[in-house]
Amino acid sequence: MSLDHLTLNIHYDVKEKKFEVSGDVNFEGQRELVEGFLHNQIGAGRDDKTPDKKDFYNITLRWYPLNDNLEVSSDTGNKGLRDGILLEFLKRLDQ
C-alpha cells in the first residue's frame, strides 16, 4: 500500500501554551517538515489580514513525497500568526 502524503496536525492551546500533535510524521520528521515550510515562507510577503482571536488554533501540514510538495492549512486567519505558532512549536521540540 502506498501512502500519497504524510500529515502533521498541530493543535495549540493559547491559554495553556500547550501543543498537541497528531498525524503520521515521526518526531524527527516534524522538525524537518516545519523548518522546511518556514524556510519556504521567507520572502513570501506580508499578510495584512487581521488574525482570528481564538483560544485554540489548528495547523495542518501535508507533505507529498512523490513531488516534494508541501501544503498547509490553518484557522489562524493570518500567515504571520500561523508562522509564529510554528516557530514556537519548533522551540518546544528542543525542550
pLDDT in tens, 31-83: 999 999 999 888 888 888 999 999 999 999 999 999 989 999 999 999 999 99
Report yes or no on 1 lying in a domain.
Answer: no
Average pLDDT value for residue range 8-28: 96
pLDDT at 44: 80
Predicted TM-score (pTM) of the model is 0.91
Is the distance from CB of 14 to CB of 54 less than 8 angstroms? yes
Residue-number span of the structural domain to which 44 is assigned: 6-93
Report yes or no on 83 lying in a domain.
Answer: yes
Domain count of the fold of the chain: 1
Structural element, H or E, at residue 23:
strand 18-23
